[in-house]
Chains A and B, each alone.
Chain A
Amino acid sequence: DAGVIQSPRHEVTEMGQEVTLRCKPISGHNSLFWYRQTMMRGLELLIYFNNNVPIDDSGMPEDRFSAKMPNASFSTLKIQPSEPRDSAVYFCASSLVRLPGEQYFGPGTRLTVT
């Protein structure tokens, strides 16, 4: 298995632009998570899905952030418009809900907003 796949690995964009991060979870996993890592706050859970349905989006910082999971093999995290304070590494992870906690992380997308 290729593991969790994220694209792009690096994104540099200007303030105000729309940014879309993509994630392909491990086949057969039924839960998907988006995290953001910053120096100040460590790893923050943004949103998670069970069986493609958003369960908890309380970690999404603002309305500028949105996430979708149209099917079991694909999810997007969109920021519109982007701001410099959104600069961080964004991780996607997937798991089987019957195995609490053992999530498999992708390599992350490093986002820089100038």
Chain B
Amino acid sequence: DQQVKQNSPSLSVQEGRISILNCDYTNSMFDYFLWYKKYPAEGPTFLISISSIKDKNEDGRFTVFLNKSAKHLSLHIVPSQPGDSAVYFCAASIINDMRFGAGTRLTVKP
């Protein structure tokens, strides 16, 4: 059972524009949500997170939005840069039990 879903396997964006990556979850008990970024031949690296008591968290070019009623979160990257090209994983956790989505491959074209 996929408790965390990323329905878009890929996304292509022009450099300088906004990238929006989406994620849905099914378990209302999740209390912490994260985005990880993965380059080829490397492990995922933590990018940004949000607690379930918030609806927005911003870190530089990256903003995560959480809509608990819709069980939906999104990652906005503004402006997108070619170096942002990677696979982005959405994750949701209850304490240490973390579940990942299947990932979205973002390509930022120069």
Partner-B contacts on A (CB < 8 A): 4, 31, 33, 35, 41-45, 48, 50, 55-56, 91, 93, 95, 97, 100-108
Contacts and interface: CB of A to CB of B under 8 A. Distances in A.
Interface string B24-66: 0000000111101000011111100100000000000000000
Contact of B96 (A4, A35, A91, A100): A100
A35 B2 CA distance: 15
A92 to B, nearest CB: 8
Nearest to B92: A101
Contact of B49 (A95, A101, A107): A101
Interface of B: 2, 6, 31-34, 36, 41-46, 49, 89, 91, 93, 95-103
List the 5 closest pairs (A to B, CB-CB), nearest first: A105-B43, A42-B102, A43-B100, A101-B93, A101-B32
A97 B46 CA distance: 15
A55 B103 CA distance: 26
B95 A107 contact: no
A105 B102 contact: no
A41 B46 contact: no
Given A41-B102, A42-B103, A48 B41 contact: no
Contacts of A41: 2, 102
Nearest to A48: B96
Contacts of A33: 96, 98
Given A41-B102, A43-B100, A100 B32 contact: yes
A45 B96 CA distance: 11
B30 to A, nearest CB: 10
B97 to A, nearest CB: 6
Given A42-B103, A48-B97, A105-B43, 18 more contacts: A31-B96, A33-B98, A41-B2, A42-B6, A42-B89, A42-B102, A45-B98, A55-B96, A91-B44, A100-B93, A100-B95, A100-B96, A101-B91, A102-B46, A103-B98, A104-B46, A107-B42, A108-B42
B96 A95 contact: yes
Contact of B98 (A4, A50, A101, A104): A101
B96 A105 contact: no
